[in-house]
Amino acid sequence: MKINPNYIVDEHTHRIAVQLDIKTFEKIEEIFENYALYHLMQGEGNNDDETLDLESAKEYYKTLEKQK
């Protein structure tokens, strides 16, 4: 994935923000969701030891897609 950022700078030319095209942002968002879902399925970072099996994870992911 190629990222073409547009930097927003302050009056001292310090980078303070970045703009991405929507397709790049959506791809990054999808990667984060998949990463988090994977770790949820593995039970990592979960204090109550709740994990998801594959089918439950797929159902949960479908609810995320509907929210977009």
Q: What is the pLDDT of residue 62?
A: 81
Q: Give strand ranges (E) for 1-68.
A: 6-9, 15-19
Amino acid at 14: H
Per-residue pLDDT tens listing for the chain (68 residues):
788 999 999 999 999 999 999 999 999 999 998 898 888 777 765 555 566 777 888 888 788 767 65
Q: Taken in order 40, 45, 48, 49, is the CA torsion positive or negative? A: positive
